[in-house]
Amino acid sequence: MEKKGTFRVKSGLAEMLKGGVIMDVTTAEQAKIAEAAGAVAVMALERVPADIRAHGGVARMADPAKVQEILVSVSIPVMAKARIGHFAEAQILESLGVDYIDESEVLTPADPDYHIDKWKFTVPFVCGARNLGEACRRLAEGAAMIRTKGEPGTGNVIEAVRHMRQMNEQIRTVLAAPDEELMTLAKAYGTPYQMLLAIREHGRLPVVNFAAGGIATPADAALMMQLGCDGIFVGSGIFKSGDPETRARAIVEATTHFNDAARVAAVSSGLGEAMSGMAIEEIPEHEMMQNRGT
């Protein structure tokens, strides 16, 4: 008997993406460039985060026709973003056959209080998190993969680093704590108690954790991998740069050979202009995407 949509099948696909780079694309043509550069998956969306940030307005799920176009253009998995709490967008994306849904703070949230009940779906979900509490709440809602939120569309890696370090520190605390301290830790972090037990059983987060939000260079990718991320999402960093093909390939190489500085140096050379990027301090509090959907 075949069982579809089990947690093992959902988290299993994320395991297969480890050590790889997932690239934001807005057209079939970009998806092909990403695949040829060695991306392990593409993320289909209407506008990359930098454009969403620049243009404002409500950012929604991509046009299904566009998602469809991307789905048939590549043989690697295709992910797509739905608004936080917008389970109808998620249902549409599932019916189109996307391989993973990103319930993403990059889009304008649709629900002020609640995330999607992801257990109801056969398609797996990835969600962003700034800390262990957010990660564990998303997992308890049925997410099968986690990524840092970072600060999308900035080309500035500092927030992804902050979130990864925060997550690592809290996981270390959970692993080292005596049994009687666990419940109080669960309360302090805002995590379901059972999730902390799962972390202790695995010795780590029980699912794959990728870096996302502000990664723009091969060195950024190598940094995040050395901090313990399982792989890399690149949003605006590739197709907002001067030479997307070369940069995409360079980030892929740096993600595989993150411990080999000479190799990362070689692929980083002469890449042309990176996306210009912005300082986090320049962003007004209410425009910070990472504060959405906690």
Name the site residues for another protein (rule: CB under 8 A).
1-6, 8-9, 12-13, 15-20, 35, 37-41, 75-77, 94, 97-100, 122-124, 252-253, 256-257
Least Cβ distance, residue 266 to another protein (angstroms): 12
Those residues with Cβ within 8 angstroms of residue 36's Cβ, 6 or more apart along the chain or in another chain:
245
Q: What is the 3-state secondary structure (H, E, C) of 24-40?
A: EECCHHHHHHHHHCCCC
> How far from the centroid of its chain's Cα atoms is residue 187's Cα?
26
* Nearest to another protein of 96, 283 (CB atom): 96
Q: Scanning the structure block, which residue is given the tokens 């993406």?
A: 17
Q: Residue 137: name the closest of 62, 60, 84 by CA.
A: 84
Nearer to another protein by C-beta: 50 or 205?
Answer: 205
Residue in 4, 10, 66, 81 annotated catalytic: 81
Task: Give least dist CB 221 to another protein, A.
Answer: 13
Smaller CB separation from another protein, 95 or 291: 95
Residue 81 falls in the annotated catalytic set: yes
Rounded distance, CA 227 to CA 205, Å?
14
- CA separation for the pair 33, 23 (Å, rounded): 10
Nearest-approach distance from CB 283 to another protein, in angstroms: 33
Cβ-based nearer residue to another protein, 245 or 287: 245
What six digits make up the tokens of 95?
Answer: 């019916």
Please report which helix (H) or strand (E) contains residue 43, including its range.
strand 41-44
Provide the token pair at 262: 């000479």
Residue 71: CB minimum distance to another protein, A: 8
Sheet holding 232-234, edge to edge: 208-210, 145-148, 125-129, 100-104, 78-83, 41-44, 21-25, 232-234
Q: Would you say 183 or 261 has its CB closer to another protein?
A: 261
Residue in 249, 245, 243 with CA at minimum distance from that of residue 263: 249
Minimal distance, residue 11 CB to another protein, in Å: 9
List active site positions.
81
